[in-house]
Chains A and B, each alone.
Chain A
Amino acid sequence: MSLQATIYLVVGLTFALYIGIAFWARAGSTKEFYVAGGGVHPIMNGMATGADWMSAASFISMAGMIGYMGYGGALFLMGWTGGYVLLAMLLAPYLRKFGKFTVPDFFKARFYSDTATIVAVICLLVASTTYIIGQMTGVGVAFSRFLGVSNNVGVVVGMAIVFVYAVFGGMKGITYTQVAQYCVLILAYTIPAIFISFQLTGNPIPQLGLGSTFSGSDMHMLEKLDHIVNDLGFGKYTTALPGDRLNMFVYTVSLMIGTAGLPHVIIRFFTVPKVKDARSSAGWALVFIAILYTTAPAVAAMARLNLHATINTAVKSGGDVFAEEASVQYDSRPEWFKRWEVTGLLTYEDKNADGRIQYYNDKSKNAEFLAQAEAAGWQGNELSVNNDIMVLANPEIARLPNWVIALVAAGGLAAALSTAAGLLLAISSAVSHDLLKNMFMKDLTEKGELMAGRIAMAAAIVGAGYLGMNPPDFAAGTVAIAFGLAASSIFPALMMGIFSKTMNKQGAIAGMLAGLLATMFYVFAHTGIFYVKGTEFYALFGGKDFFFGISPNAFGAIGAVINFAVAFAVKNMTAPVPSHIAEMVESVRIPRGAGEATGGH
């Protein structure tokens, strides 16, 4: 069977599976729609959380970013896993005990104010919408490469599939579909990694392969890679830093507390039966996530190595990388190269007109290296590689069988669609439950609310589809910004709601607004207002590095500090918290009497 036919078959089968599950798990009540009926087993919930969590960015972009960044890529690995420790200890059990459907529900009760709820809803909508853009871009990339359709058609097909299981099944349909999607995506991620690790090191377990020696030599994989990238003028793989150590530190904090504050992750812990289950479920979620996250560094390093070895044949043998015949001839480039050129994610420009591809770091700070490159007749780097293709093209670069390539396509789509569904649920429940039912149309019947939830979901899907076709930034970048927003607004407010008995509504509202605005301000200053190029205004504040060189994606942690500081300052100047709220905080702290999640008041 041809590659294209195999891809259609595998992707078609997984889609049929999702729709079948959606049909079986239709939601009949708001409880099923919002929290899947509340009876999801913790291991099952962990798996669904894993799929919900591991987005197009995790699946498609992350290994590429790590491969490109080297050691510093660890900020994604630690940031996107370490948050689960915080979630398990600081938020999940208490919010589960509180026993409502949504995150703004908690704000409404704990901060006894519609304003606090609306601010929470706005934060939630901003974070979820920013995040969903990244997912839709990922869907477009995966579809356009694998199904041979345009980006826009890809987005529409993806939206139609999500529509079927999210609109009819709500959280119930989404949960069980996500369990299936987890299985697809984890197989799709690990199988090629196992093959490649075995090819390169003889060790089939990628986590160990990365620390092993090359087959038939006694040189360690990472040592070799350090040499290769060094030879080509890049920073050393095992020590390269993103900016400086401070930036890496702050960035990791942002991603961790952003993870713990993202509403679509938090609502997953409302679906388990007990407080105890919320704690262990976070552990299971991290187990399932860790399988991918500990494989990713191996995929990253091996893909980087394979890519360099393909373009410059001298790097693997240890020969002279500057020799003319070392650089591969453009005319004899491999098949996968041609296929990815079509998507525009891989581009070649013959700067020195020698018909060969020179791929090196022409911005190296090593003058000696640059002089050698110039002496060899190299006139600049001729290959640009989009990070996103590292995972998607990896099996092709390593010449794996067609069914593996097809599986990777299905896995990328599963990752993007499962996260999109979780986000859409967070968005639609915020609109139908928190805004309509709890604020503007209090006499809405359950049936009416269910209908409103479905309409909100459908509208959110259309909106997300539009943004997916007109994305403001590359996939992973927008996702990082969503984290900054969750980190600077939602996480601190939840923490103060649970751990401070004295935090009042004025403090919480002021804190959230201050954190959110400071972060948005910093991000927009660097990337343009609403990411519109040319509207950056960082020049007004002392240039690009105006806050200790913290990158805009990392600023959420600073926003969170601002949030806490403003909240406590305002709290001390305003009326104390009512006594019944303080009592409620007390009761949320002990697990007994958690009961089932209910939407009523």
Chain B
Amino acid sequence: MEKSHELYWKKVLGLIRNVLIVWFLCSYGAGIMFASALDKIKLGGYPLGFWFAQQGSIYIFVALIFIYAKLMGKIDEEFDVEEK
């Protein structure tokens, strides 16, 4: 029991870490730090860095939460800790 709980928490933290990496790269990375470099690429009428900052990162945030919720549900089931 103790072992499996530790493993469960490790998996949860791993998932959170992965989601946070994507979260950081698309907003702070593409939207702020590398925005001017990305602006040289065009996405339709959008400079790419500008698009990430004002549109793209928001779409990615939405997707991230649902992906996280789904994967968490799977981990919960795997360790048999989901709510009945």
Residues on A facing B (Cβ under 8 Å): 66, 71, 73-74, 77-78, 81-82, 84-85, 88-90, 93, 207-208, 210-213, 220-223, 238-239, 245, 248-249, 252, 274-276, 279-280, 282-283, 286-287, 290, 293-294, 297, 586, 589-594
Contact = CB atoms under 8 A, between A and B. Distances in A.
Contacts of B83: 274-276, 591-594
Contacts of A90: 16
A329 B59 CA distance: 43
B45 to A, nearest CB: 3
Contacts of A78: 27, 31, 53, 57-58
A71 B61 contact: no
B10 to A, nearest CB: 11
A105 B35 CA distance: 42
Contact of B61 (A66, A82, A223, A275): A82
Given A71-B35, A287-B62, A594-B83, A276 B45 contact: no
A220 B45 contact: yes
B82 A592 contact: yes
B29 to A, nearest CB: 11
Contacts of A220: 44-45
A423 B57 CA distance: 28
Contact of A592 (B16, B45, B55, B81): B81
Nearest to A285: B65
A249 B33 contact: yes
Given A88-B68, A89-B68, A591-B76, 12 more contacts: A77-B57, A84-B65, A88-B65, A88-B69, A211-B45, A211-B46, A239-B39, A286-B62, A297-B55, A590-B81, A592-B82, A594-B83
Interface string B69-81: 1001100100101
A89 B55 contact: no
Contacts of B47: 222, 238
B40 to A, nearest CB: 12
B32 A245 contact: yes
B39 A238 contact: yes
Q: What's the dominant secondary structure at chain B's contact region?
A: helix
A283 B58 contact: no
A252 B24 CA distance: 11
Nearest to B19: A89
B68 A211 contact: no
Given A85-B64, A90-B16, A222-B46, A77 B9 contact: no
Given A85-B19, A88-B69, A290 B35 contact: no
Interface in B8-56: 8-9, 12, 16, 19-20, 23, 27-28, 31-33, 35-36, 39, 43-47, 50-51, 53-55
A546 B69 CA distance: 42
A290 B59 contact: yes
Given A212-B45, A592-B81, A252 B65 contact: no
Contacts of B57: 77-78, 81-82
A245 to B, nearest CB: 6
Nearest to B22: A85
A223 to B, nearest CB: 7
B61 A85 contact: yes
Given A211-B44, A252-B28, A590-B81, A294 B59 contact: yes
A93 B33 CA distance: 31
B69 A276 contact: yes
Given A71-B50, A280-B69, A283-B69, A294 B58 contact: yes
